[in-house]
């Protein structure tokens, strides 16, 4: 079993920045990353990162968001810059560990003036 605990969400003005963190309860050898779900929308991939540092981003966040990982701390981060109202969603951390996908509870990000 793996527990994932996210932090760092909140309310930010358009153009602002936030950093999300997700701490895993044990070492994750597979990919970790972030998905988001806005009200009335399907869950969508935001960014993923492998244990070796390989990254993948949704087209809508390329150039604005950066995913990173500290394997010693079992933690994945999402740095979000130039935030837009369309980025408003619940952001969930995910970890792939021994053929099982684990999910965090999610953290709310609201971009509004």
What gap in Å lies between CA 26 and CA 63, rounded to an integer?
A: 30
Name beta bridge partners: 24: 4
Q: Is the CB of residue 76 less than 8 Å from the CB of residue 49? A: yes
Give the pLDDT score at 96.
95
Give the pLDDT score at 15.
98
Per-residue pLDDT of the chain (113 residues; tens, 9 = 90+): 999 999 999 999 999 999 999 999 999 999 999 999 999 999 999 999 999 999 999 999 999 999 999 999 999 999 999 999 999 999 999 999 999 999 999 999 999 99
| DSSP assigned state of 47 | E
What gap in Å lies between CA 87 and CA 100, rounded to an integer?
A: 28
- The Cα-based distances of 61 to 27, 53, 79, 80, 102 in angstroms read 27, 18, 11, 8, 23
């Amino acid at each position: 079993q793996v527990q994932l605990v996210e932090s760092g969400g909140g309310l930010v003005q358009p153009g602002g920045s936030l950093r999300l963190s997700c701490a895993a309860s044990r070492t994750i050898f597979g990919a970790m990353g972030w998905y988001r779900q806005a009200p009335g929308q399907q869950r969508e991939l935001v960014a993923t990162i492998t244990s070796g540092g390989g990254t993948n981003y949704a087209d809508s966040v390329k150039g604005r968001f950066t995913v990173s990982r500290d394997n010693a701390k079992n933690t994945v981060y999402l740095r979000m810059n130039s935030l837009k109202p369309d980025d408003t969603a619940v952001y969930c951390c995910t970890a792939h560990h021994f053929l099982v996908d684990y999910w965090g509870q999610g953290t709310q990000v609201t971009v509004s003036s």
